[in-house]
Chains A and B, each alone.
Chain A
């Protein structure tokens, strides 16, 4: 079974631009979560989508948004990019049946550099 895939793997943007990242979960998984990894803050939870609805949300500004499609694929969008948004963005998928917590399987990440 194929793992979680993320595209693109690398991105370079300039301040003020917006960016969209894509994540395809493991087949049969209906929950997709997004995380930001930076050297200073470590790994931080952005949000989780299940059945095309945001089920959980971390403590990030509204510039960070996401959505999920009927095939469980998810996109994450960051508008008005700031230098501090440079990070590795990780997507994780899980079955989604248990809202109380399940094993999450991670993709390789998208590395975003904001200049």
Chain B
């Protein structure tokens, strides 16, 4: 079955430090890639997406992600984190084939903790 892996369940980063959250997906048809963020008790907010084109994509709140097809990865980065970035981050993939696309497949999430 196609899958999305976020290897880090928890990550702790000091405020002002850089951040990288990892995401790998199983090989399949053309992937559409997303990063979402979820604050406690809230729904999911889209940070950024990649469908095609430039493999480095910019999102909201200063986040960016790079698609590396050879590594089946779509890692999320931020050069300097703020305390308000503390949340749960989800990588999600839609695989597109000739028969259309299924729903989003999500990773298990990475819980980001910001140290003062």
Interfacial residues, chain A to chain B (CB-CB below 8 A): 4, 33, 35, 42-48, 55-56, 58, 90, 92, 99-101, 103-109
- 24 sampled A-B residue pairs with Cβ under 8 A: A4-B43, A35-B104, A43-B90, A43-B104, A45-B104, A45-B105, A56-B101, A56-B103, A58-B103, A90-B43, A92-B104, A100-B96, A100-B100, A101-B94, A101-B96, A101-B101, A103-B46, A104-B104, A106-B43, A106-B44, A106-B45, A107-B43, A108-B43, A109-B43
Q: What is the bound-complex CA distance between A99 and B99, given in angstroms?
A: 9
Q: Is the CB of B106 within 8 A of A42?
A: yes
Residues of B in contact (CB 8 Å), total 24
B31's nearest neighbour on chain A, judged by CB, is A101
B29 to chain A, nearest CB (A): 10
Decide: A90 and B49 in contact? CB cutoff 8 A. no
Contact at A108–B46, with CB atoms within 8 Å? no
- A-B CB pair tally, cutoff 8 Å: 61
A26 to chain B, nearest CB (A): 12
Q: Which of A4, A100, A109 has the most CB of B within 10 A?
A: A100
> How many angstroms from the CA of A101 to the CA of B109 in the assembled complex?
21
Give the top 7 A-B pairs by smallest Cβ distance, nearest first: A45-B103, A43-B106, A101-B94, A106-B44, A101-B101, A106-B43, A108-B43
Contacts of B92 in A (CB 8 A): 43
* A42 proximity list for chain B (CB < 8 A): 106-109
User: Which chain A residues lie closer than 8 Å to B105 at the CB level?
Assistant: 45
CB-defined contacts of A90 to chain B, threshold 8 Å: 43-44
| CB-CB contacts below 8 Å: B80-111 with A | 90, 92, 94, 96, 100-109
Bound Cα distance A35, B38 (Å): 14
**Which chain B residues have a beta carbon within 8 Å of chain A's beta carbons?**
32, 34, 36, 42-46, 49, 51, 90, 92, 94, 96, 100-109
In the complex, what residues of B have CB within 8 A of residue A109's CB? 42-43
CB of A56 within 8 A of CB of B96, answer no
Contact of A100 (CB < 8 Å), options: B49, B90, B101: B101
Which residues of A sit under 8 angstroms from B44, Cβ to Cβ? 90, 92, 106
